[in-house]
């Protein structure tokens, strides 16, 4: 059954006109308060939108793709509406989209804040989410007229993109490969559960230690970075050094055979030296033991030996030495000991009388040697006087002059 259209009556027309007038007036009032110019009904804020306050500020963000974002969409911080999108346009001279937003003046954000294009639900509206940077990296404050560059903006994947990726995975994509990977993993890990558990425990310990030393690792990487920067500034010097090393390396390469022969000879020499030391070890120990009394006697002499050597090496003696001499004579006492088995010829008999020039007997030691002076002939007497018959020193059967057990000489 059809119903014919009828023309509204005078009372209904009056009501519709009044309602239209009120709507237009409300739109004009809102536009005059919140917008600089009114260009269409899309500039009217949606019911339940964010309160911009008395002093909102305007910022812009560049997006590679705004998808289906529309003007008057919400601007949120931590999912709380703090502003709205006032305009979407293309950036002049570029293919990126510029989104203009007005944010409540009471909301303070860092100047390096991020802008993300997100969706409230699977089929919900899209909005712009403003988020601060990582902790400790914030700087400045976002002010009126600031711009968020393309490097700090991003968007969530669309439902169509998710379904497309899922379709690719299910329709001959990676499911078969996942099944193969799972089967092979089961085969590889079967019966190796304790080892895998131990490996995972060690990996957990390793990761924990790495996390505890992350500052040290960071410092090490910074040091490597500084080293690389230093090497980069001295690239020419490094190149010169490497170029200079090339001839030396070539010479080493040519003499490689000689070097190997030398190393083998050193190995043989070390074996011979070790064998020689091992064989002569007993003799060396015996020599050291025989040398021990001599060294002990030298140690017992103390400072006497160095002092006497200092005096002996200054003969004739210096005035400093002579000051210690009392009187006109310097007496020297020599104690001479004959070697064991030495035979004195003629044999000395202390009890046998010896005849002198006056016929008297006297016990004298061996005759003194002759003394030669200018203008005289060599002569010697038992007493050393003139007219004595020469006598030669007594000799042993081997031709060696005999040595008296003890003699005393006085020098004037």
In eight-state DSSP terms, residue 151 is G
Q: How many residues does the chain have?
A: 412
Q: Is the distance from CB of 330 to CB of 411 less than 8 angstroms?
A: yes
Q: How far is CA 343 from the centre of its chain?
A: 80
Total number of domains constituting the chain: 4
Same domain, yes or no: 276 and 315? yes
Same domain, yes or no: 134 and 186? no
* Within-domain flag for 243: no
Same domain, yes or no: 85 and 38? no
The set of residues, in sequence order, having a beta carbon less than 8 Å from that of 395 and lying 6+ positions away, is: 345, 401, 402
The set of residues, in sequence order, having a beta carbon less than 8 Å from that of 370 and lying 6+ positions away, is: 378, 379, 380, 390, 391
* Within-domain flag for 404: no
* Within-domain flag for 374: no
Domain interval for residue 40 = 10-44
The C-alpha atoms of residue 28 and residue 186 are separated, in whole angstroms, by: 71
Same domain, yes or no: 137 and 71? yes
Give me the residue label for tokens 């497309």: 164
- Mapping DSSP onto H, E and C, the string for 30-62 reads HHHHHCCCCCCHHHCCCCCCCCCCCCCEEEEEE
- Per-residue confidence (pLDDT) for residue 352, from 0 to 100: 63
Same domain, yes or no: 152 and 182? no
* Within-domain flag for 49: no
Task: Decide which of 299, 327, 355 is a domain's last residue.
Answer: 327
Exposed/middle/buried for 21, CB within 10 Å: 0-12, 13-18, 19+?
A: exposed
Q: Is the distance from CB of 411 to CB of 328 less than 8 angstroms?
A: no
pTM of the model: 0.36
Q: Is the distance from CB of 87 to CB of 126 less than 8 angstroms?
A: no
The C-alpha atoms of residue 68 and residue 124 are separated, in whole angstroms, by: 11
Q: Which two tokens stand for residue 190?
A: 């079967």
- Per-residue confidence (pLDDT) for residue 187, from 0 to 100: 86
Same domain, yes or no: 61 and 34? no
Q: Which two tokens stand for residue 350?
A: 């202390």
In eight-state DSSP terms, residue 174 is S
Same domain, yes or no: 93 and 184? no
Same domain, yes or no: 143 and 64? yes
The set of residues, in sequence order, having a beta carbon less than 8 Å from that of 346 and lying 6+ positions away, is: 394
Same domain, yes or no: 39 and 63? no
Same domain, yes or no: 261 and 300? yes
The C-alpha atoms of residue 80 and residue 372 are separated, in whole angstroms, by: 135
* Within-domain flag for 206: yes
The CA-based dihedral angle spanning residues 26, 29, 32, 34, taken in that order and rounded to the nearest 10 degrees? -70
* Within-domain flag for 1: no
Name the nearest CA neighbour of 131 among 106, 148, 150: 148
Q: Is the distance from CB of 87 to CB of 43 less than 8 angstroms?
A: no
Q: Is the distance from CB of 400 to CB of 339 less than 8 angstroms?
A: no
Same domain, yes or no: 133 and 181? no
* Within-domain flag for 262: yes
Q: Over its length of 412 residues, how does the chain's per-residue pLDDT go in tens digits?
A: 334 444 444 444 445 455 555 454 544 444 444 445 666 666 666 666 778 888 999 999 999 988 888 888 999 999 899 999 999 999 888 889 999 999 999 999 999 999 999 988 877 889 999 999 988 888 888 999 999 999 999 988 887 888 887 777 777 666 667 778 888 888 888 888 888 889 999 999 999 999 999 999 999 999 999 999 998 898 888 888 888 888 888 888 989 999 999 999 999 999 999 999 999 988 999 999 999 988 888 888 877 777 777 666 666 666 666 666 666 666 666 677 778 887 766 655 667 665 555 555 554 555 555 555 454 444 434 444 444 444 444 444 444 444 444 433 333 3
In eight-state DSSP terms, residue 395 is B
Task: Decide which of 327, 357, 375 is a domain's last residue.
Answer: 327
* Within-domain flag for 300: yes
Pairing of strands 153-155, 114-119: parallel
Residue 162, phi then psi, degrees to nearest 5: -65, -45
- Per-residue confidence (pLDDT) for residue 332, from 0 to 100: 67
The C-alpha atoms of residue 116 and residue 75 are separated, in whole angstroms, by: 10
Same domain, yes or no: 36 and 119? no
């Amino acid at each position: 059954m059809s119903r014919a259209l009828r023309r509204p009556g005078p009372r209904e027309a009056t009501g519709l006109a009044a309602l239209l007038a009120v709507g237009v007036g409300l739109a004009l009032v809102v536009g005059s308060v919140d917008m600089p110019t009114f260009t269409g009904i899309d500039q009217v804020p949606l019911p339940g939108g964010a309160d911009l306050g008395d002093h909102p500020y305007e910022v812009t963000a560049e997006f590679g793709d705004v998808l289906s974002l529309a003007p008057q969409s919400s601007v949120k911080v931590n999912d709380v509406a703090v502003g709205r999108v006032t305009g979407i346009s293309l950036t002049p001279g570029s293919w990126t989209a510029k989104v203009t937003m007005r944010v409540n003046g009471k909301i303070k954000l860092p100047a390096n804040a991020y802008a993300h294009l997100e969706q409230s639900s699977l089929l919900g509206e899209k909005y712009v989410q403003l988020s601060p940077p990582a902790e400790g990296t914030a700087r400045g404050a976002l002010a009126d007229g600031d711009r968020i560059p393309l490097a700090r903006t991003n968007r969530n994947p669309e439902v169509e993109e998710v379904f497309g990726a899922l379709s690719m995975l299910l329709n001959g994509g990676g499911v078969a490969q996942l099944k193969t990977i799972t089967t092979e993993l089961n085969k590889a890990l079967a019966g190796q559960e304790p080892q895998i558990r131990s490996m995972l425990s060690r990996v957990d310990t390793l990761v924990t230690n790495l996390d505890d030393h992350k500052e040290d690792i960071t410092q090490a990487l910074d040091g490597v970075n500084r080293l690389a920067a230093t090497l980069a500034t001295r690239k020419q010097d490094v190149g010169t050094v490497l170029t200079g090393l090339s001839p030396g390396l070539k010479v080493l390469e040519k003499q490689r055979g000689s070097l190997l022969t030398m190393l083998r000879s050193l190995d043989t020499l070390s074996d011979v030296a070790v064998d020689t030391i091992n064989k002569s070890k007993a003799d060396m120990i015996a020599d050291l033991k025989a040398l021990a009394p001599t060294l002990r006697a030298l140690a017992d002499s103390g400072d006497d030996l160095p002092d006497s050597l200092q005096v002996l090496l200054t003969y004739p003696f210096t005035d400093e030495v002579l000051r210690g001499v009392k009187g006109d004579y310097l007496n020297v006492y020599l104690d001479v000991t004959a070697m064991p088995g030495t035979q004195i010829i003629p044999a000395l008999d202390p009890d046998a009388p010896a005849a002198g020039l006056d016929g008297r007997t006297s016990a004298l030691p061996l005759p003194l040697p002759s003394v030669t002076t200018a203008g005289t002939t060599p002569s010697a007497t038992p007493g050393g006087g003139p007219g004595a018959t020469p006598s030669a020193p007594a000799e042993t059967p081997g031709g060696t002059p005999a040595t008296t057990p003890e003699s005393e000489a006085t020098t004037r």
